[in-house]
Structure 1
Amino acid sequence: MRGLVTMPILDDLILGRFEPGESLLHRFDAPLKLILMPVLVICSFAVTRPAALTALSALALILAACSGYPWRTWWRGLLVFRWLFLFTLLLHLCFSPGRTLFGVAFLSFDGLLQGLRVIWQLSLAVVFSSLLTLTTSPARIARAFITLAAPLQKLRLPVARAGEFILLTLHFLPLLREELIVARTVGAGQPAGVAASVRRLRENLGPLLLRLVDRAEEMALALAQGHALPAIVDPAPKRSLSSWLNWTLFGAAMLVPVFLIGLRLWPTSA
């Protein structure tokens, strides 16, 4: 777990990564987690009031503490998206209508506030999504999906097949990270600067895509031959939470999004 903090910046991406552990969230029931985290992500974009986002942030901090990862891991994981956050802020600052900022016609004060709110929402969505993938192995996520979607099998829907697709997608994310790290290592000794970075990106993009296609083909051939993929391992926690504790934690965490979304919908339904 400490190695998660010391890796290069491209490997600081926590979204889509799984790290084995024995924390409270690692031992939390996977199907319940698969319900809770998407609901929290939806709630992050559904609510807009600062008080509501503050409540969600408090819940995110509690869940992050229950994951067992150091705070520096979460900070560096969010720092990976800094250019996305900056671009989002600039778009809202320059193109949103409203009061001007510093008397400059093309700078919007309301756009600045809206951009900061969107960055806040994106950060919460990244944290909640990462809580699911960091503490749940791809195999457990796929099985949890199949368990939750089991009633759809009565409608002759290919639930098991969809679970396999989810498993393959989650398995492919570490391969993408590995290739990005290789591409970054190749250009480590080359000149710095924006122009040099753009030129290296143009030169390495083609080979990077070809390597990803080759890795995907190797994975498909291995599956077709009946071989197990080494990265798809299910190191389940040694101790699982009891059923009543799972449901208690699930109900307590679900109170926050249900209450916040209810407050948002209440004036509309009245």
Structure 2
Amino acid sequence: MRPPFPGRSMIEPEGETLDWGGKEFGTHRYHVRRLVDESIRLLGRPEKAVVLGAGNHGEVDLPALAVHFGQVTVMDSEDNMLQEWLESTGGLALSRLKSLTRVDYTGLDQISFYETYEEMLENGAPAAELAGYLRDCAFQVRRQERLLHLKKSFSLVVSSGVHTQLFYLYALTQFHGYMERYSASDIRQVMEALVYLRNGLVTDYNQLLLALLKPEGRVVAWTEMVLLDEAKKGIVDELYMLQSEQERTSYLFEVFGKYGLEAAVLGMKDLHDKLRSEQLLFHSWVWHTETGRTYLAAGLSGRPS
């Protein structure tokens, strides 16, 4: 496993202490809820839903989602509090919500990537050997079956901010502790290989999302796109000055291409290209995170082409 990285529902019990964001307006969770609700309305027959990357269920109003679907499966790559909450809640929530943790979205755990990578770093493997291993892993993981038993199982597949969290930050953190051993050209060689592997994992993840869908199901995905630091805060002001939706969308795509987080831009563009143009939803909003950072976020919803 990778290393750790430094109320509006009828099924909520009285006295519920968890905050599902149901009364918020204009926040990140409000925009997520709006995108999900619009997607549900476009579904012919809601049956089962799955949420990948729900974390400690802060972004998605899971009890509200369970009202629409007979079963909602929540997947996380790490442990979360959902199972504990379900057991204390009981009733309809326990019967309709299912929690799966330590889910390997990438296939890296199946090939013991993090252990092997750490061992190579500890043993001072040459940069060329490290880079070769990283590039080879991009092909190895494609041969691994991921969530095979759940393929074509869900009417709605929801990806909650996963694209930027899949791999890169964890692997970069591991490498950072050993960088002083390598020259500038060695570091560049390893970094290029890390990016190569990351890009393959991002597009493979999109394929996984679509593989989980039933015919005529919908996929919903969102992620942070641009960090709005002091130099980029004017982006939002310029966006609000534009008059038409077409102008705003064109401006957003330009901003994403110029300033966007690489994994987010690749992931959302690749997913966009895999979806039909009819009934395609695209939303963007400002996301104030708990860490104090502010992002321009984007969300997509559609059916596979």
Tell me the TM-score normalised to structure 2 length: 0.23
Structure with more relative contact order (C-alpha pairs < 8 Å, separation 6 or more): 1
- In terms of fraction of residues, the more strand-rich structure is 2
Larger Cα Rg: Structure 1 or Structure 2?
A: 1
